[in-house]
Chain A
Amino acid sequence: MRRVKSFFGGIYPDDSKKSTAEAPIEVLQAPQTLVVSLLQHAGGEATPVVTKGDEILKGQLLAQANGAVSAPIHSPVSGTVVAIEPRAHACGSSVTAIVIENNGEDNWVEKNGHPDPVQLDAATIRQRIQEAGIVGMGGGGFPTALKLNPPKNTTIDYLIINGCECEPYLTADHRLMVEYPEEIILGAKLMAKASGAKRIIIGVEDNKPDAYEALKGHAGAIDVVSLPTKYPEGGEKQLIQALTGREVPSSGLPFQAGAIVQNVATAWAVAKALRDGEPSITRVVTVTGKPVVEPKNLLVSIGTPIENLLEAAGGFNGAVGKVVIGGPMMGGAQFNLEAPICKTLSGVVAFREEESATPAVLPCIKCARCVDVCPANLLPLRLEAFGMNEMWDEAQDYGALDCIECGCCTYICPSKRPLLQYIRLAKQEIIAKQKKPS
């Protein structure tokens, strides 16, 4: 195994993955009512092409991309559109959603697959990825086809497939790699062709040796690299640094470092779209946490409310304090269980009441642990102080906009200070100031 460089900083939290790492992916039956959000990606809300009362088929287009940075949305079941209205969304506010009454018949639209999609040309692959509504399933939600089409005259040396899953608790990508390595490799090959990438590297953290072996078994000439388990190994910029030694320029994009990073779940979705002709209407979600009776990895229809996922995992045992969608480091805490699963959400993590209390905050003792762990090489304690004192210019000078919001600083702080919150505040203020003409 070749030696790999690492990235700056990082933390080693308890990975809490044991309860689901060995649990095979189970298919969760689509519920009676699905809430398919129009915002499941970076960019503009998709524009509905169906109206209330329409009978629809599984896989049928529900909403089309709205602008260049956006993605179409398809129906995860066959049934009837019963409403198009604002509904709870994982982000915490309400977003327009297409509500579908499932007729339980799973009547598919005509699928446009290809027995050997690698034969297709780059432009066709990109077009089919776009039409299938595939977006970055690791959480970013950036439209995949757009990412695979960097500006002209850019050389893409590496297509990096991100199999790190560095967030604690989550095992959705892990199980996908163990159970669907063939699809992931096919998706990687398709995306490499679509982007003109010279090489494919798949990065897997070394706490998932079975995933590494499964991919290796199908990889052929593709480089599968085992990386040290360290959060945020799967951060786009950190993974590029660890695998290639290159850095993405400040306020730039990965293609400027000659790299494109795609999640393993995205690769799986690409393979399903091009080979089987199935658009992005399902994903694997880990339902876990101490209060969850039977933690599981579930293959879920997009639009399934998280309440259904938690029920499928046996519900709660004991007092629940917090329910987080996504991973515990970067995910959002929910105030109820209504939010539906979107393309970008890989986990539902519940915490016991005693795990959820906000700790008492002590003064900063300048121990600099936040400095040592920051993968962006920032001075989080200074940024926090600038944020608290509304010193936005200083915060900008100290690189607030280079913060990737991984949360390592807040995680490690022995005084339990909310560093990331103040850095986010500073970022918002700096961006607002930049937009405002002076």
Chain B
Amino acid sequence: MEDLKLIVAPSPHVRDTDSTEKIMLTVLIALLPVLGASIYLFRWDAVRLVLLSAAAAVATEAIFQRFRNKPISIGDGSALVTGVLLGLIVPPSLPSWMVILGSAFAIAIGKQVFGGLGQNPFNPALVGRAFLTASFASAMTSWTAPFDAVSTATPLVLGAARSNLPNLFFGAVAGSLGETSALAILVGGIYLFYKGALDYRIPVGILGTVVVMSLITGQDPVFHLLAGSVLFGAVFMATDPVTSPVTVRGRWIFGIGVGLIIMLIRVWGSYPDGVTFAILLMNAVTPLLNRWTRPRIYGQGVKANE
């Protein structure tokens, strides 16, 4: 027992085996079915846009941190996740330089200027998409049909009556690369939930509200669930932990709020979809939701037994 060099550290002395890197990897794995579906549907455009977006995001993060003399943290996988997510939410025909620019913007302005991982108030991938939509409105709304890349309109523009629900479910419709196949998104979402990397309250809040609002406004709820970015946004975007509330009640309110704004924009607004702005708006109120929905602490407000 001689010559022991013991480490003194505060308790607890055991830690969970999960890590932030593993969570990022889990998200990437959950995106594989979506990626597969988008490659199947949109062929080389999917490969081109997702790869360029991912590479640009990682490179931007590294360059930004290099110039700020900060440790380069691309190994945590968060920039890669942002890049892949952005690549999956742009139209298949988007020019390569645009997705590179959008991805660089997402990381630089959407994330790094706030201090990097964990500090950004808005979902970086959606910041990138909003930037691209505002800058290149026509390229961001030019849609092509799957398989043959012929120009066409999205189901949201066509409307429920002229859309084929099985096609919407499997994804054989025009739309952003990763957003058309509801099936692939659901598979990824179930995997995320199973791995404990997804809080069900946010997607359930969003999808439930979309259904209720569709019924109230006399629209087809199934169509609204399957068309556009609703499913992808509910599963992969709104659930970004950094930009969503930390409390249970906050998450319900967040999800319901996103669902409400989506339907407000879709029914009365001038954008056909509205998911991007709905999530970004709710990101903006997340700090307030955290403050307003603090849980009741054990023993507070409890009277002594007499």
Contact = CB atoms under 8 A, between A and B. Distances in A.
B247 to A, nearest CB: 7
Contact of A248 (B12, B13, B14, B302): B302
B283 to A, nearest CB: 12
Given A328-B11, A335-B8, A376-B297, A368 B241 contact: yes
A62 interface: no
B217 interface: no
Contact of B297 (A250, A329, A337): A250
Nearest to B300: A250
B194 interface: no
A414 B21 CA distance: 8
Interface residues of B, number: 47
Contacts of B73: 362
A391 interface: no
Among A311, A333, A357, A367: residue with most chain B CB under 10 A: A367
Contacts of A363: 116-119
B8 A333 contact: yes
Given A155-B306, A323-B6, A365-B242, A331 B299 contact: no
B12 A381 contact: no
B15 A416 contact: yes
Contacts, number: 186
Interface string B275-306: 00000000000000010001111111111111
Given A252-B304, A336-B6, A415-B20, A359 B15 contact: yes
B18 interface: yes
A332 B11 CA distance: 7
A333 B7 CA distance: 7
A336 B4 contact: yes
Given A336-B6, A363-B118, A418-B10, A237 B298 contact: yes
A31 interface: no
A322 interface: yes
A261 to B, nearest CB: 14
Q: Is the interface of B mostly helix, strand, loop or mixed?
A: loop
Contacts of B76: 362
A321 B12 contact: no
B118 A322 contact: no
B19 interface: yes
A418 B11 CA distance: 9
B23 interface: yes
A250 B302 contact: yes
Given A379-B294, A399-B300, A334 B8 contact: yes
B298 A316 contact: no
Contact of A356 (B7, B21, B294, B296): B7
Contact of B11 (A255, A315, A330): A330
B299 A328 contact: no
B118 A366 contact: yes
A420 B12 contact: yes
A116 to B, nearest CB: 32
Q: Is the interface of A mostly helix, strand, loop or mixed?
A: loop
A241 B298 contact: yes
Interface in A238-276: 241, 246-252, 255-258
Contacts of A356: 7, 9, 13
Contacts of B119: 363
Interface stretch (A21-29, A37-45, A404-412): A404-412
A407 B76 CA distance: 25
A169 to B, nearest CB: 9
Interface in B36-87: 73, 76, 78
Contact of B299 (A248, A316, A366, A415): A248
Contact of B16 (A249, A357, A412): A412
Given A8-B298, A320-B6, A377-B298, A333 B118 contact: no
Contacts of B303: 249
B15 A366 contact: no
B11 A320 contact: no
Interface string A1-40: 0000000100101100000000000000000000000000
Nearest to A238: B298
A381 to B, nearest CB: 6
A366 B286 CA distance: 11
A364 B6 contact: no
Contact of A333 (B13, B244, B245): B13
Given A155-B305, A412-B16, A331 B11 contact: yes
Nearest to A350: B6
B249 to A, nearest CB: 11
Contacts of B15: 359, 410-411, 413, 416
B294 A321 contact: no
A335 B299 contact: no
Contacts of A108: none
A436 B116 CA distance: 39
A356 B15 CA distance: 10
A401 to B, nearest CB: 10
Contacts of A154: 305-306
B85 to A, nearest CB: 15
A377 to B, nearest CB: 5
B159 to A, nearest CB: 39
Nearest to B295: A377
Interface in B237-252: 241-242, 244-247
B1 A311 contact: yes
Contacts of B9: 322, 333, 356, 358
Contacts of B14: 13-14, 168, 328-329, 411
Contacts of A321: 6-7
A421 interface: yes
A144 B301 CA distance: 28
A402 B298 CA distance: 8
Given A333-B8, A371-B247, A413-B16, 10 more contacts: A237-B299, A332-B11, A334-B6, A357-B7, A362-B73, A367-B23, A379-B294, A402-B298, A415-B20, A418-B10
Q: Which 6 A-B pairs have the closest CB atoms?
A: A407-B12, A256-B304, A368-B246, A258-B305, A363-B118, A250-B299
Interface of A: 8, 11, 13-14, 92, 153-155, 157, 168, 237, 241, 246-252, 255-258, 307, 310-311, 315-316, 320-324, 328-337, 349, 351, 356-359, 362-368, 371, 375-379, 381-382, 398-399, 402, 407, 410-416, 418, 420-421, 424
6 contacts: A92-B8, A252-B304, A310-B1, A336-B6, A359-B15, A379-B246
Interface of B: 1, 4, 6-16, 18-23, 73, 76, 78, 116-119, 199, 241-242, 244-247, 290, 294-306
